[in-house]
Structure 1
């Protein structure tokens, strides 16, 4: 799955950003697997912390959110 994620980030997203920029649409990428630091969080709270951070990131993308599985 990491290879697919890398391919999308390296090849697909730059082209998509370029195409959308031509129509004055700004593409903002949010990868929910990056940037969640749980090193300072107690072990029993880590999953809740990750969920909280991810849900906040999704809320901040309103009104649009596209998810790739």
Structure 2
């Protein structure tokens, strides 16, 4: 079932969270092992909270001097 919504979900499975951050699932695993991002448990699924992903993205350094 393909569903399109007009807003990012509050909770995301791994693939969606990686896509949301424009990164790979491997990088998401690295961030988790470093304690930067902590997945939550929803039933038997591992999910990531959008606010935590946003906080991580906003903590990244600015790209200065490149065009």
Q: Same fold (TM over 0.5)?
A: no
Judging by fraction of residues, say which structure has more strand.
Answer: 2
Larger Rg: 1
Give the TM-score taking structure 2 as reference length: 0.28
Give the TM-score taking structure 1 as reference length: 0.28
RCO comparison, higher one (Cα < 8 Å, 6+): 2
